[in-house]
Amino acid sequence: MTVSFSMTVNGKPVKGECEDRTLLVQYLREHMGLTGTHVGCDTTQCGCCTVHIDGIPMKSCTMLAVSADGCEVTTIEGLAKDGQLHPMQDAFRENHGLQCGFCTPGMVMSAIGIVDRHRGEKLDEKTVRHELEGNICRCTGYHNIVKAVLAASEVMNKA
C-alpha cells in the first residue's frame, strides 16, 4: 500500500509518497538521495542511521518513513550552516574522531544529542561513554570520539 506524508528534511518541506513499509532511513537514502545516513545493521544496534527527529536523536532504521509525518528531520547533510561545519563535526575532525567515516554521521548526530541533554553542564568522560552506548564504531576504539564530544561540548555550551 502506498502512503503519503509530509515532513521537513534539513529545513525543506517534503511531501513524501512511498510503500507503507518503507523505513525512514530507506526513504532518506533511496528516495531523497541523502546517503550520508548509513545502515550498519538490521537489529537497531549500531546507530549508523541516527538522525534528529524534532531535535532528538533517533535510529531512522527503526521507524517508518510515514511515522515521520509532521516531523522535522535533520540528517548529517543538514548540520553545516553556510558551509561552516557544526562544532561537533569540527571537533571530530580536530580530534581524529573518525577513520572510515561509516559510523560517523550517526555518531555525530548522537553526540549532539548528548551535549543537548546536558546543556550548561560540564560533561565528563563517563557520561559520554555511557550515552554513546547506542553507536558502534569498529575503527577508532572510541578514544578520540570521546575526546571530540568533550571538546565540542565546551564550544557548544559557550555558543
Interface residues toward another protein, by CB under 8 A:
19, 21-22, 26, 29-30, 34-43, 45-46, 48, 75-77, 79-80, 85, 89, 92-94, 96, 98-105, 108, 125, 128-130, 132-133, 135-146
Q: Report the distance separating Cα 40 and Cα 93, nearest Å.
A: 22
94: left (phi over 0), alpha (psi -120 to 50) or beta: alpha
Q: Which is nearer to another protein, 70 or 155 (CB)?
A: 155
Residue 56 binds to ligand FES (criterion: CB under 6 A): no
Contacts of 22 (CB under 8 A, 6+ apart): 31, 64, 65, 66
Decide the pairing of beta strands 72-74 and 2-9. Answer: parallel
Helical residues (DSSP H) of 44-141, grouped into ranges:
87-94, 104-117, 125-131
Query: Which of 29, 59, 86, 147 lies at the binding interface for ligand FES (CB under 6 A)?
Result: 59
Which partner in ligand FES, another protein, none is near 49 (CB below 5 to 8 A by kind)? ligand FES
Q: Restricting to residues 60-119, which ones interact with ligand FES according to CB under 6 A?
A: 61, 98-104
Least spacing, CB of residue 108 vs ligand FES, in Å: 11
